[in-house]
Amino acid sequence: MSSLEKQIAPVVKAIKDGRKATFFLGAGVSTSCGIPDFRSPKTGLYANLKRLNLPYPEAVFDIDYFKEDPKAFYTLCEELYPGKFLPSKFHHMLKLFQDKKLLHRVYTQNIDTLEGIAGVHDEYVVAAHGSFASNHCIECSEAMSTTKLKQLMTDKDTNEGIPKCASCDGLVKPDIVFFGEALPSRFFDLWDEDAENVELAIVAGTSLSVYPFASLPLEVGKSVPRVLVNNEIVGDFTTNKRKNDVILKHDCDTVASALIKALGWEDDFDAQVKEIEQRFEKNSKVLEKADDSKASESSDTAKKIDQQQSEEELLSRDLVSEAEKAQQQEQLSAAEESEKLADKIEKQMEGLRL
């Protein structure tokens, strides 16, 4: 028996005894997907933000700084935008817990939506720090579609790639929680319900330094087994270590592999990975197609708009009939409909909820 196998034995026993797991996750479960965490010394985002000329690293996610200079956030946003990353072994393991009816809840600080992409249902996931799934104007709260946001973000010729609200010209941002903003009410509501019902707490890939999330493991009942899976020992596991805590100072995916093996879930894991990879590939193709047809539609739309403009000139001279006006309107609505469809497909791709 390897030392990791020995270390995880009490966790495996608790799971085999039927204890449902509540997970508390951070950026470390997604680093193997290619998304950097915040605080790892060499690879973390904060260590690599010099190019953004920030007064201090956290400023990139600070609402007051965003109001002053949104460019830094949008530079990073483009790099981290969901849709190009696949779930890690750890994310796939969450789906297996769900399939085996051993999942109670996944509290995640992550904004990458990878739990959902692995197939974990929305009802189980609490995205404590929001996600990229929706966007709003910070002034008037008007919603903006993800397609529109991405289009504005990548169009550097208009407003330097900073998405602005069509109604009030305020700044628009994805609904991820910045420092200085309130957490979603779902976080507080569900934790009120869940806190006393945790049977097995698994904390993984987090430095436990952002509150109130960091205090959740501390609020778990004293008799409940707590497990920390992290490259370093953090938070309450350092300051208030309990007798029945299991500390696994290892890589998240290494622990996921060991648990999957010990629980005899290897075949289910292989099938899960294959299914998600196939879906991801299929959805990427659908998205590519949607992009292609959107590109040709936008050139059609551009042509139609040109046509509309010249026809408007004629209209002003009373030379175009009412019937032609109606036809022109129909063409523009059809172009709008295609854009909506492409937006819907793109949303499905981003959420990839199974």
Q: Give the residues lining the site for ligand CNA (CB under 6 A).
A: 26-28, 30-32, 35, 37-40, 44-45, 109-112, 129, 205-207, 209-210, 230-232, 234, 251-252
Beta carbon of residue 46, minimum distance to ligand CNA (angstroms, whole number): 8
Beta carbon of residue 210, minimum distance to ligand CNA (angstroms, whole number): 4
Residue closer to ligand CNA, measured from CB, 119 or 205: 205
**Catalytic residue (choose from 92, 104, 121, 129):** 129
Residue closer to ligand CNA, measured from CB, 98 or 109: 109
Residue closer to ligand CNA, measured from CB, 185 or 309: 185
Beta carbon of residue 154, minimum distance to ligand CNA (angstroms, whole number): 21
Beta carbon of residue 114, minimum distance to ligand CNA (angstroms, whole number): 7
Known catalytic residue at 91: no
What's the per-residue H, E or C state across the chain?
Answer: CCHHHHHHHHHHHHHHCCCCEEEEECHHHCHHHCCCCCCCCCCCHHHHCHHHCCCCHHHHHEHHHHHHCCHHHHHHHHHHCCCCCCCCHHHHHHHHHHHCCCEEEEEECCCCCHHHHCCCCHHHEEECCEEEEEEEECCCCCEECHHHHHHHHHCCCCHHHCCECCCCCCEEEEEECCECCCCCHHHHHHHHHHHHHCCEEEEECCCCCCCCHHHHHHHCCCCCCEEEECCCCCCHHHHCCCCCCEEECCCHHHHHHHHHHHCCCHHHHHHHHHHHHHHHHHHHHHHHHHHHHHHHHHHHHHHHHHHHHHHHHHHHCCCCCHHHHHHHHHHHHHHHHHHHHHHHHHHHHHHCCC
Residue closer to ligand CNA, measured from CB, 146 or 206: 206
Beta carbon of residue 128, minimum distance to ligand CNA (angstroms, whole number): 8
Active site (catalytic) residues: 129
